[in-house]
Amino acid sequence: MRLYLSQIGALVRKDLLIEARLRERVVAMGAFAVLIGILFNFALDRTAVRPQEIAAGLIWLTIVFGGLMGMGRTFQMEREDGALEGLLLSPVPRDALYLSKVVANFVLLSAVVLLIFGIFGLFFSLDFGRSPLALVAVILLGVLGFVALGTLFSAISAGTGMGESLLPILVFPLLVPMVIYGVTATAALFAGLPPAEVSGSLRMLGAFALISLAGGTTLFRFIVEE
């Protein structure tokens, strides 16, 4: 077990180190968040609708598009010089490899989500409600499930000719629960409702995350092995 965790730790460290040095994905996702916010400003008619009312939906959609864009490159870095083969040669269990990518993507995405909240809060003078902890729980659980699925499918898309353009087709149908429960809970919390109101959604988001993680952990090796 200690070895397993050490292996995952080493891999996560590798991914975060590379990201810190290249800053490709985080810059792309961050710029995307800001630019989408700008576009939303022009796309919304503020006389017809108050941003506060639809903010939850806008935020989650931005998370979906931006997040997927960033996750698409997850296995890109493993292609140069055949790095993935080097990892597969080592005694690392394939599910450890998957989990390390999930953790790294989760860290990355969480940072971007923070940015999105900041930007949208700024652009649209949003009120985030009175229960920040519940809000954080909703976001984190949703993002966890999202990252579990996105990481798994980005391994698939990296192995196809279509690459990243395949990712939305594969992932979006499965993200419907996250969007439904995530947006509903977020909107409720933004409106000032107490955390107890969103416990059902939290449970479902938890189930979603659990199923996606379990599926990904079990199935990853079939994607990456020949």
State the nearest-atom distance from the C-beta of 133 to other proteins, in Å: 24
Smaller CB separation from other proteins, 14 or 130: 14
Per CB under 8 A, contacts with other proteins among 77-136 are 77, 80-83, 85-93
Residue 192 found at the interface with other proteins (CB under 8 A): no
Residue 180 found at the interface with other proteins (CB under 8 A): yes
Distance CA 111, CA 97 (A): 22
Candidates 44, 170, 191, 193; binder of other proteins (CB under 8 A) is: 170
Distance CA 5, CA 10 (A): 8
Smaller CB separation from other proteins, 21 or 46: 21
Smaller CB separation from other proteins, 7 or 105: 7
Whats the size of the chain, residue-wise?
Answer: 226
> Residue 54 corresponds to which amino acid?
I
Give 3-11's long-range contacts (Cβ < 8 A, gap of 24+). 4/93, 4/96, 7/92, 7/93, 7/96, 7/100, 8/96, 8/99, 8/100, 8/103, 11/87, 11/92, 11/96, 11/97, 11/100, 11/101, 11/104
Distance CA 181, CA 144 (A): 14
Residue 185 found at the interface with other proteins (CB under 8 A): no
**Contact footprint for other proteins (CB under 8 A):** 3, 6-7, 9-11, 13-14, 17-18, 21-22, 77, 80-83, 85-93, 149, 152, 156, 159-162, 166, 169-170, 172-174, 176-177, 180-181, 184, 204, 207-208, 211-212, 214-216, 219, 222-223, 225-226
